[in-house]
A and B are shown apart, each in its own frame.
Chain A
């Protein structure tokens, strides 16, 4: 069977005709299989949804109880037959509950990896390499300028700044699902045991992480705390909130942003960031290329991001490669919008 007869990109998303489902559909479909809880991948309004328990819980937190007609939870390593295909979930190391989905039909195996990272992250199950014939990879950071380094060093940079400016608050922009919790966990790994303050929009998800056994130390809401008492503290907020009225409650805040995009100065400066922290929940260039090689796949399909460079690299390695041109995925941030103007002003 040809791979494109198993999975085919359609406007609604990646469609598995022999299995009768879509992976991470961007439009409402009858049956959806979802890799992880970020809102560009996990949308409301599908008929039946198959995903990990964490992903289902996160969707419920975001969209309410009726986000789908029916749901089914699946564990890492568990295999399920759907129509003529078998699917199996494997950890993607991206955020809590994130999965790669291996779709097998006869003797062909395709792995749709969703978003993934091969770097260590104390808040989620580590990424596993799944040997396959066709590997579907993201390319968010698909340029050789993106090499993310050790996230611990970035957190040390943040702590050095807190020590240097004890009378200022440090405001760290971070996506509310995954990044925020990872930054807190990294701070704790560095021995930072002061309370970490949270923007209202990230409280629910963060407490959910704690309920799943991710230890994050003492957390406090920013809401209701006096300005002077926020001096010397670290507070986390969705990226959109760090440049808005909300920041006026902090004493002379140092604006940081934890993101792989911070590798490029113009991106940081454009957003008025003073302390860029290169902490990414996506594989960097070395991670993408190493993973592609490790899967042993002879063919690579590249989805959202910098497809051109990664497709070019695959071809120089003698791998068949093509961009999938799926629309609707990308920076979580675009979907992480909090109406900060209104929400807490």
Chain B
């Protein structure tokens, strides 16, 4: 447990993805079975046991420490698990043969079978045996609140690196594996065969597109491509298959392979034919696609209530077919898969699943026109949910990852405003010596006349060279410092204008300005523009009206 705790501890501070991978891989290499397998399970969220409530932890510490001291400490630290881990009193156990601290496997297997009434005593015993970091990790584990910024995908990638395997290979067999993954590690270390996925509805690693640049078109022939609308929803994979007993198993996966079926029970009955659809999850009301803002209200809910299902009816727009019953279609060219898909969707004959229509075009100019006005080009009333167009090579097989030259995304021009840099904050990791997080504002009429009101925050979009320039500007034009935040000069004639691009706008009572931007980023630095010429809040409000009026 202490070794696993050290790993979690280090991961919690490490900002870089590659460094996180190295740390996890090193742990897998140095840790024996079955501990590393349970660690992999913990990192991928594959452990299942009843979590301990914070109240139980609080009771344990209250029994052992002075309540005033606990109160002062909790106030200072701010996190219950951490406070308890740090102030848990050292116990001098009788004799000098102290029991060794529990292993991760011991903790996980014990928790699986432990009754509720035995939990407090068992927890206390472990807390006595572990050190500070070990206690912290244990409490995070048993309360189910790890939050260390590790995705399941990252943990699997780290495991794959152990055997120089492609993480996609692990994704393919993952649904058939169970902790502590002895067979997986045996294969990764070359001691055993590759585990076979007997999962009837496995995830298939997804194919992704590159953003197209103006210069790319010159070398591309329109006749080689099929175009579709790019829907502003959530990319999903809907898979169904029969298990050994002949029962249909249906699952919905996110693009990273996370099983999200539980969040969309209303879609499950529609997946009644064995196959694997690649598509976009959308909310449809009376046949019309709703904007991402509407879909978002259906996401990340702990409880999916009947009311939620009714108000945000879920829909799958299909654009590719990876498997048809037992047949793997991924090697086929896209044009052929598309034909299979059309037949498949017809056979499904379900109102919740439809085809993503293709966009007819014979030249890049024609496609550009369609992209500029999807409403007139066939998207009709759904045009608001169109983010742009997708270009797919007719002859492209379905390749995992982001292969070059096969799929392109061509987004609609984003919304753009000119805003004034108001505050800057240091970044993290590699950027910790740079002021790389920017709060920007636009003009509005305030009590004391014209004033800037913050409308958003951006921390990317600029080049490395531009980052250096802004950083220098921030350092030379700081008017005040509040902890890590610098107040940067923003007067009508003094300051830096940032051209900010963003994808959407929403009303937000949480922001002083009343609006919140989706996906804002720095598009250009307008050194040429005096701050007084930056945009006004009314401009944003007008954009907001345009969005909601449609």
Q: Which residues of A contact B (CB under 8 A)?
A: 143-147, 149, 157, 161, 164-165, 243-248, 252, 255, 263-266, 268-270, 272-276, 306, 308-309, 312-313, 316, 341
A143 near B69: Cβ-Cβ < 8 Å: yes
B82 near A264: Cβ-Cβ < 8 Å: yes
B69 near A309: Cβ-Cβ < 8 Å: yes
B13 near A273: Cβ-Cβ < 8 Å: yes
Across the interface, B86 reaches (CB within 8 A) one of A147, A165, A244, namely A147
Residues of the A chain whose Cβ atoms lie less than 8 Å from the Cβ of B79:
265-266
Residues of the A chain whose Cβ atoms lie less than 8 Å from the Cβ of B6:
157
- Give 20 A-B pairs besides A263-B86, A265-B79, A309-B72 with Cβ atoms closer than 8 angstroms: A145-B76, A145-B83, A145-B87, A149-B131, A157-B6, A164-B23, A243-B433, A245-B433, A247-B432, A248-B433, A264-B77, A265-B12, A266-B78, A268-B13, A272-B426, A275-B10, A276-B13, A312-B72, A313-B69, A316-B66
B12 near A143: Cβ-Cβ < 8 Å: no
B86 near A145: Cβ-Cβ < 8 Å: yes
B77 near A165: Cβ-Cβ < 8 Å: no
With contacts A165-B19, A247-B432, A272-B428 known, is A312 near B86, CB below 8 A?
Answer: no
Residues of the A chain whose Cβ atoms lie less than 8 Å from the Cβ of B223:
none
B132 near A149: Cβ-Cβ < 8 Å: yes
Residues of the A chain whose Cβ atoms lie less than 8 Å from the Cβ of B26:
164
CA distance A195 to B68 in the complex (A): 47
B66 near A308: Cβ-Cβ < 8 Å: no
With both chains docked as a complex, state the minimum distance between the C-beta of B264 and any C-beta of chain A, in angstroms: 35
Residues of the A chain whose Cβ atoms lie less than 8 Å from the Cβ of B484:
270
B475 near A144: Cβ-Cβ < 8 Å: no
Across the interface, A243 reaches (CB within 8 A) one of B14, B73, B426, namely B426
CA distance A39 to B401 in the complex (A): 57
Residues of the B chain whose Cβ atoms lie less than 8 Å from the Cβ of A316:
66
| A to B CB contacts below 8 Å, 9 in the list | A144-B87, A145-B76, A147-B86, A147-B132, A243-B426, A247-B433, A255-B432, A273-B13, A309-B68
CA distance A164 to B20 in the complex (A): 11
CA distance A157 to B86 in the complex (A): 19
B73 near A143: Cβ-Cβ < 8 Å: yes
CA distance A269 to B433 in the complex (A): 15
B83 near A341: Cβ-Cβ < 8 Å: no
Residues of the A chain whose Cβ atoms lie less than 8 Å from the Cβ of B78:
266
Most buried by B among A144, A161, A243, A313: A144
B76 near A264: Cβ-Cβ < 8 Å: yes
CA distance A161 to B13 in the complex (A): 13
Across the interface, A274 reaches (CB within 8 A) one of B15, B69, B132, B426, namely B15
Residues of the B chain whose Cβ atoms lie less than 8 Å from the Cβ of A264:
76-77, 82, 86
With both chains docked as a complex, state the minimum distance between the C-beta of B433 and any C-beta of chain A, in angstroms: 5
Most buried by A among B86, B430, B475: B86
CA distance A341 to B132 in the complex (A): 37
Residues of the B chain whose Cβ atoms lie less than 8 Å from the Cβ of A164:
22-23, 26
With both chains docked as a complex, state the minimum distance between the C-beta of B15 and any C-beta of chain A, in angstroms: 7
Residues of the A chain whose Cβ atoms lie less than 8 Å from the Cβ of B65:
144
Residues of the B chain whose Cβ atoms lie less than 8 Å from the Cβ of A165:
19, 22
Q: How many residues of B sit at the interface, in one of the four size bands?
A: 20 to 34
Q: Which residues of B contact A (CB under 8 A)?
A: 6, 10, 12-15, 19, 22-23, 26, 65-66, 68-69, 72-73, 76-79, 82-83, 86-87, 131-132, 426, 428-430, 432-433, 475, 484
Q: Chain A interface secondary structure, helix, strand, loop or mixed? A: helix
A252 near B430: Cβ-Cβ < 8 Å: yes
CA distance A266 to B68 in the complex (A): 22
Residues of the A chain whose Cβ atoms lie less than 8 Å from the Cβ of B73:
143-145, 309
CA distance A306 to B82 in the complex (A): 18
CA distance A229 to B76 in the complex (A): 41
Across the interface, A265 reaches (CB within 8 A) one of B68, B69, B82, namely B82
Across the interface, A275 reaches (CB within 8 A) one of B13, B76, B86, B433, namely B13
With both chains docked as a complex, state the minimum distance between the C-beta of A119 and any C-beta of chain B, in angstroms: 16
CA distance A177 to B432 in the complex (A): 25
Most buried by B among A145, A246, A264, A265: A145
CA distance A268 to B15 in the complex (A): 13
Residues of the A chain whose Cβ atoms lie less than 8 Å from the Cβ of B19:
165
CA distance A252 to B433 in the complex (A): 12
Residues of the A chain whose Cβ atoms lie less than 8 Å from the Cβ of B428:
272
With both chains docked as a complex, state the minimum distance between the C-beta of B471 and any C-beta of chain A, in angstroms: 8
With both chains docked as a complex, state the minimum distance between the C-beta of B88 and any C-beta of chain A, in angstroms: 9
Most buried by B among A266, A270, A273, A309: A309
With both chains docked as a complex, state the minimum distance between the C-beta of B66 and any C-beta of chain A, in angstroms: 7
With contacts A243-B432, A255-B432, A264-B82 known, is A341 near B475, CB below 8 A?
Answer: yes
Residues of the B chain whose Cβ atoms lie less than 8 Å from the Cβ of A248:
433
B426 near A143: Cβ-Cβ < 8 Å: no
CA distance A143 to B432 in the complex (A): 30
With both chains docked as a complex, state the minimum distance between the C-beta of A261 and any C-beta of chain B, in angstroms: 11
CA distance A270 to B483 in the complex (A): 10
B22 near A306: Cβ-Cβ < 8 Å: no
CA distance A306 to B475 in the complex (A): 34
With both chains docked as a complex, state the minimum distance between the C-beta of B179 and any C-beta of chain A, in angstroms: 26
Most buried by A among B13, B22, B428, B429: B13
Residues of the B chain whose Cβ atoms lie less than 8 Å from the Cβ of A268:
13
CA distance A45 to B426 in the complex (A): 37
With both chains docked as a complex, state the minimum distance between the C-beta of B130 and any C-beta of chain A, in angstroms: 13
- Nearest B residue to A312 via CB reads B68
B432 near A145: Cβ-Cβ < 8 Å: no
Residues of the B chain whose Cβ atoms lie less than 8 Å from the Cβ of A149:
131-132
Residues of the B chain whose Cβ atoms lie less than 8 Å from the Cβ of A269:
13
Residues of the A chain whose Cβ atoms lie less than 8 Å from the Cβ of B13:
268-269, 273-276
CA distance A270 to B87 in the complex (A): 21
Residues of the A chain whose Cβ atoms lie less than 8 Å from the Cβ of B86:
144-147, 263-264
With contacts A145-B86, A164-B23, A243-B426 known, is A266 near B77, CB below 8 A?
Answer: yes
Residues of the A chain whose Cβ atoms lie less than 8 Å from the Cβ of B131:
149
- Nearest B residue to A273 via CB reads B13
- Nearest B residue to A145 via CB reads B86
With both chains docked as a complex, state the minimum distance between the C-beta of B23 and any C-beta of chain A, in angstroms: 7
CA distance A255 to B72 in the complex (A): 30
CA distance A143 to B22 in the complex (A): 35
